[in-house]
Amino acid sequence: MSVVNRPSVSPTDTIRPALPRAPRGAVVVRPVAARAQPVDAGLPEPLRRFGAIGLVVAVYLGSALFVPVMTNALVGDDWVYVRAVEHFFQTGNLHILDLAVVTLVFQVFWGTMFAALFGLNFGVLRLSTLVLTAIGGIAVYGTCRELGVRRNWSALGAAAYLFNPLQYVLAFTFMTDPHFTAVMMIATWGYARALRPDRPSNRLLWLASIAAAMAFLVRQQGALIPPAVLLALLLARRIWFDRAGLRMALRVALAPAIAMALYYLWLFRVNGVPGQQEAFTIKILTAGLGGTLLLVGRMLFISAIYLGFLALPVVVVALGRLGPLLRSLPRAAWLGAAAWTAMLVVGIAHFLSVGFNPPPMALMPYIPQYLGPGYLGPTDVRGGRTWLIPGWGALGWLTAICALASLVFAVLLLRKVAPPPRPDPTRFVAGMVLLIGAGQVVGVLPPSFHFRNWIVSVDRYLLPLLPLALCLGLWALRGLGARPLGAWLTVAAFAVYAVIGTHDFLSLQGATWDLARTAVAMGVPLDKLDAGASWDGYQLYEYSIDNHIRTRTRGGPWWTDLFGPATDSTYIVSTEPVDGYDPIVALPYSSWAREEQTLYLSRKHDYPGPP
């Protein structure tokens, strides 16, 4: 019996009819699956292009309705900068107090413009910061777009920037940090767009250069932006030491160079070098090699672990794609991840070795000023503020989360180290943003020398890393197939915490100043009242300097020595009763995170009055 070999038939062959072959050379038209239309396909073009970022900015500005932005009080050190605006607005002469360690010029002009439009008061100057920060959020969106990030993800980056608790609370002050960060991002966006390989623009390059000059005229570290851009161009072989390269370098750096030259000419010949700027220089020179290396090591670790917190919305998304992320990690990048891990482990061990009594903090947040363990804003009033986070155990978990997030963020960036299979024009922009960020890490060091033997540094110095990290993180997420829901939920949680914490902080500051004004109305002399750092500085610093008054409060808080030497602290404003003082007035104030809080105006036991 013969066996006939039949070809095997697959199940699909039985249901798929045979198609005749097309003649050689004929054009074959194959059916193409219909592509899903984007959800915004039916919207008008302007709304489709700008609707997402417009909504983010509108929600951000609208959130100010829940925060007492017009509070008639100052915050932290911002009285130093408010004084400069008041002097310029009233006299037309620019003058910077001895306590200012920053350039400040652009911020003074920006605040004066708002004062001219809406009147000179503390709330208006705080509003000027809020508006500039919103513009910075748009610049974050634009930078993300130049990095090839889609519109909805770019809007996510802007929201993560605007509603980060550290950024949010600083936006409701007149501190230099949010002003600098916003202008830095405007310059970064301008450079990224002007230097696109496919459509470079000399006009935009000049505008970006002017923005970088403005950044320098807020804080000195703005001078590090143009060198980072030039280094990115050099590494990308888009500039060289020839005539064309010189022209490009002038477009990038000429405006900042002119701004620096004119500023220092004015500073030395007209204003005079502020005393604190000279003091910072002396502290840098006297630190020695050992002190400098210790500070550098500490700040590298602190910057790395704070990156985990700053980039947390991006990290949450990356965790959902951790498997593909690790599988696509180049071999060489594993060495970088190991080194990053070692730095985190060594840094955590080092700070644990200092003990659990700050300063400095032994766990996250390591350098709290505006982002404390459960509250927002500095604690510059007697009695301080109670923690919302219940004890050191919770801070241990916070440290672990931030360390893990920092490592994931590093892995996310290291994944992009391998060259792509085809040219990617966004890699140049990413490299430029990375170099600008590295420059800002260096920029944290000089002002930190003032704190190196005290609290190491302060968290607001790290604010410029926030938008740069978010832009790079969103760029690195491309191609992972990630979904943004987890990031949006994280941003929403940040926003709720930021609004509540900022409300409570400004409520405390407003009540402190109201109680101090009550004391003055009762007949208490200004030089007998200590009502916290901002009040003492605003009311007594210049009086103390003009009258050559040394510290009259022995063993008092730091601000009675630095900001208000003239006060003898016979009367104090505090958040709780203080030994040696009798409370004479109690003032309740609003708090959303806690039960109703109370401030106290107290008088020394042995002082008869008034009142």
Span 453-506, pLDDT tens digits: 889 999 999 999 999 999 999 999 998 999 999 999 999 999 999 999 999 999
| DSSP code, position 148 | T
| Predicted confidence (pLDDT) per residue in 143-168, tens digit | 999 999 999 999 999 999 999 999 99
- pLDDT(610) > 80: no
Q: What is the pLDDT of residue 393?
A: 87
Mean pLDDT of 323-334: 89
CA-nearest of 215, 213, 192 to 204 is 192
- Return the higher-pLDDT residue of 83 and 46: 83
Residue 13 pLDDT > 70: no
Residue 239 has pLDDT above 70, yes or no: yes
Closest CA to 411 of 499, 509, 340, 362: 340
Q: What is the dihedral of CA 524, 528, 529, 530, to 10 degrees?
A: -170
pLDDT band at residue 11 under the 50/70/90 scheme: very low
Closest Cα to residue 412, out of 335, 333, 484?
333
Q: Name the DSSP letter for residue 600.
A: E
pLDDT value at 20 more than 90: no
List, in order, residues 6 or more apart from 45 with CB less than 8 Å away: none
Above 80 in pLDDT, residue 36?
A: no
CA 3 to chain CA mean position, Å:
80
Token representation of residue 182: 């916003």
Tell me which amino acid residue 411 is: V
Domain ranges of the chain: 68-504, 511-604
Note whether 532 and 573 are within 8 A (CB): yes
pLDDT at 18: 45
Question: Is the preceding omega at residue 165 within 30 degrees of 0, hence cis?
Answer: no
Closest Cα partner for 229 from 473, 410, 437?
437
Q: How confident is the model at residue 2 (pLDDT cuts 50, 70, 90)?
A: very low
pLDDT of residue 531: 98
pLDDT at 376: 96
Helix, strand, coil % in the chain, rounded to nearest 5? 60, 5, 35
**pLDDT given for residue 358 in this prediction:** 54
Q: Spell out the SS3 assignment of 213-236.
A: HHHHCCCHHHHHHHHHHHHHHHHC
> What letter represents residue 589's amino acid?
Y
CB 116 within 8 A of CB 89: yes
Q: pLDDT for 153-212, tens place per residue? A: 999 999 999 999 999 999 999 999 999 999 999 999 999 999 988 888 999 999 999 999
**Which pLDDT band, with edges at 50, 70 and 90, does 21 fall under?**
low
What lies within 8 Å, CB to CB, of 578 at 6+ separation is 382, 383, 572, 600, 602
Mean pLDDT across the chain: 91
Convert 313-340 to b/e letters by CB count within 10 Å (16 or more is b).
bbbbbbebbeeebeeebeeebeebbeeb
Is residue 601 within a helix (H) or strand (E), and if so which, with residue range? strand 597-604
Q: What is the pLDDT of residue 131?
A: 98
Q: Which residue type does 387 have?
A: W
The answer to whether 239 and 230 have CB atoms below 8 angstroms apart is yes
SS3 593: coil
For residue 391, is pLDDT > 80? no
Per-residue model confidence (pLDDT) at position 284: 87
- pLDDT computed for residue 603 by the predictor: 97
pLDDT for the residue 359? 56
Tens of pLDDT, residues 574-603: 999 999 999 999 999 999 998 879 999 999
pLDDT, average across residues 315-334: 91
Q: pLDDT tens digit string along 539-562? A: 999 999 999 999 999 999 999 999
CA angle 120, 124, 126 (to 5 degrees): 130
pLDDT at 216: 98
Looking at the predicted structure, is the pLDDT value of residue 564 above 80? yes
Length of the chain: 611
Q: Is the pLDDT of residue 421 over 90?
A: no
CB atoms within 10 A of CB 380: 23
Cα–Cα distance for residue pair 575/599, rounded to 1 Å: 5
3-state secondary structure of 195: coil
AA letter at 392: W
pTM above 0.75, yes or no: yes
d(Cα 251, Cα 544) in Å, to the nearest integer? 46
> Which of 6-10, 102-106, 591-595 has the largest mean confidence?
102-106
Check residue 597 and report its DSSP letter. E
The percentage of the chain sitting over the pLDDT mark of 70, rounded to a whole number, equals 92
What pLDDT does residue 38 have? 54
- Whether residue 427 is predicted with pLDDT greater than 50 in this model: the reply is yes
